[in-house]
Amino acid sequence: MRCAAAMVTAVLALASVGCIASHKLVEGELDRYTSLHADTGDLGPYYRPSVGGRQLPGKWIVRRHPSLIWSTVALVRAGDKLKAGAAEIDFAVSSAHASALADILAEARLALQGLAEVCQMDRPADRRRWARGLAAALVRVEAIARRATVEETEMPTGEAEEPLGMAAGPMLGILAAYLNERSEGRLLSDLAPEDLDRVRALLAHMMLRLGFAAAGRQLPEDLREIVQRRLREAEEPKQAAGPLAEILLDRVAKAPSDTAGGGLSGALRAVLAYAPKALMAMESLARQWNRMEALELEFHRKDGQPVIAATIRVCQGKEVRLDDMVMFQPAIVFRGASRIVVQPKVPGTGETVVAFEPVGDGDVEIRFEGLAYGLVRLLVMPLASGALREVRVFAKTRRQGDQVINVALLMEAGGEKGDPRRLLHFQDVRHKRLVRGPFEIRSVVEGAEQVFNYLTPEKRYTFRRVKTPDGE
């Protein structure tokens, strides 16, 4: 509610002082900006990602089934197929399983977000904050493991019921495979094949690997086993947080630098930027599972980069929404069947491109809803809801110089006469410099600049916002 009120206030202020500039486009300018350059027609054959020396399926089909018992049996069989090395896998998930899965994904997302916030070690004093943050993330994933699995030694005699969170196992396997591919195989490079089936081992390894990479240190070989033992022995996971933080603080101080790892730290640090958003999208879909028929995932490899294609099949007469993933994000609404193709590092531009393609009568729509967007349309620029065709993201992050993030949304306005093409572009630039002290080197943000562009066939509307370190 506060965000909406703030946006309404900003819109009224902008309209009153005339901060939105607009000018006509030259002939052919819109063509240059809106041509769909992501070729999704030929993604090549299925690619089977490898984690811990084991090949995973190149295609996953997850169907909704009303029966909890049937879905439980299907999930057990899916686990057996994964261990057997199946090239494709097809299993069912009930709404009850999906609800528990959503809660588990939310916990995993919060763990990664918390880890990302504390993984800055510009000063030795920050190491204690880093250790506490990583310990908190490990405690969260231990809680996830206990909800998602039941160890044989912990099962009561005669107990045959499986935990509802067991759906997390296969879905976390999908996520682990994708994140490992995006990190060039470095995230789970030293994971034992049998640990891929153990939620506790998989999540603990991911958190430790990311945490030490963000600290610029090599992960000690014996640390994961020490951490898991501490967590397993604790009656409640939170009881292990303090002792774990002390262990991590001691080991990170002694761990050698990973600068000889050929960019290892940078590749893994990038995972902390996009993994929480991927988990948020999966969580949102899981919470709307009762509106869906199936979800299909395909792994491909094109131009040396991993490509994932997802087909969302929504029940007739229903809608599935992805919204509130970032502040002021317009709603993305799925109806019928739609295909989403994610291509990172497109040749020539280095962008990550997400293409949205309708299947049959299905469609993907972007909607500018609510009071704030209504005021924007009335007072600032003619935002129009319609079919979403492509999202392009380009980011350049470094400790010194400009940190740049570009996001462009290509769409087609609904119910408009003439050319329906529209482009919404956002650019965020942060000006950074290194500050050197007697015993420290820190990266300082000196200012930020944000630019919004909205292009129609006739005009470009531009709003520019400049922030100084004092918040002016």
Domains of the chain: which residue ranges? 2-38+315-467, 93-270
> According to the model, what pLDDT value does residue 428 have?
82
Q: Given pLDDT bands bounded at 50, 70 and 90, which one contains residue 469?
A: low
Q: Given pLDDT bands bounded at 50, 70 and 90, which one contains residue 63?
A: very high
Query: What mean pLDDT, rounded, does the chain reach?
Result: 79
> According to the model, what pLDDT value does residue 242 have?
92
pLDDT above 70 for 5? no
pLDDT above 70 for 351? yes
Lowest-confidence pick of 6-15, 46-55, 295-304, 349-358: 6-15
> According to the model, what pLDDT value does residue 201 have?
81
Q: Given pLDDT bands bounded at 50, 70 and 90, which one contains residue 433?
A: low
Identity of the highest mean pLDDT range in 223-232, 257-266, 269-278? 223-232
The DSSP line for 288-352 is TGGGEEEEEEEEEEETTEEEEEEEEEEPTT--EEE--SSTTPPEEEEEEEEEEEEESS-TTT--E
**3-class SS shares of the chain: helix, strand, coil, % to 5:** 40, 30, 30
Q: Given pLDDT bands bounded at 50, 70 and 90, which one contains residue 18?
A: very low
Lowest-confidence pick of 7-11, 187-191, 339-343, 425-429: 7-11
> According to the model, what pLDDT value does residue 371 have?
83
Rounded Cα gap, residues 446 and 279, in angstroms: 32
Which two structure tokens, joined as six digits, stand for 354? 């997400």
Alpha carbon 273 to its chain's center: 8
Contact (Cβ atoms closer than 8 angstroms) between residue 395 and residue 405: yes
> According to the model, what pLDDT value does residue 111 have?
85
Contact (Cβ atoms closer than 8 angstroms) between residue 337 and residue 346: no
For residue range 288-334, list pLDDT tens digits in order: 999 999 999 999 888 777 888 999 999 999 999 998 777 667 899 99
Quote the crossing angle between the two packed helices 126-148 and 95-118, to the nearest 10°. 170
Burial of 190 (C-beta count, 10 Å sphere; 0-12/13-18/19+):
middle
Tally: H helices and E strands in the chain = 11, 15
Instruction: Please report, as a single letter, which amino acid is at residue 359.
Output: V
The DSSP output letter for 379 is I
Q: Mean pLDDT across the stretch 360-386?
A: 86
Quote the crossing angle between the two packed helices 168-182 and 199-214, to the nearest 10°. 30
pLDDT above 70 for 50? yes
Which two structure tokens, joined as six digits, stand for 154? 């912990």
Q: Which residues contact 100 (CB under 8 A, 6 or more apart)?
A: 147, 163, 164, 165, 167, 168
pLDDT above 60 for 177? yes
Parallel, antiparallel, or unpaired: how do β-strands 20-24 and 88-93 relate?
unpaired
Rounded Cα gap, residues 326 and 334, in angstroms: 18
Rounded Cα gap, residues 430 and 448, in angstroms: 4
Share of the chain above pLDDT 70, in %: 78
Count CB atoms within 10 A of the CB of residue 7: 18
CA-based torsion, 445, 425, 333, 97: positive or negative: negative
pLDDT above 50 for 275? yes
> According to the model, what pLDDT value does residue 37 have?
61
Rounded Cα gap, residues 243 and 143, in angstroms: 17
CA-based torsion, 181, 182, 186, 187: positive or negative: negative
What Rg, from alpha-carbon coordinates, does the chain have? 24
The DSSP line for 226-270 is HHHHHHHH-SSGGGGHHHHHHHHHHHHHHSPB-GGGSSHHHHHHH
pLDDT above 80 for 451? yes
Share of the chain above pLDDT 90, in %: 21
Closest-CA residue to 62 (of 148, 174, 144):
174
> According to the model, what pLDDT value does residue 309 have?
92
Q: Mean pLDDT across the stretch 212-233?
A: 86
Q: Given pLDDT bands bounded at 50, 70 and 90, which one contains residue 153?
A: very low
- Phi, psi (5° rounding) for residue 404? -120, 135
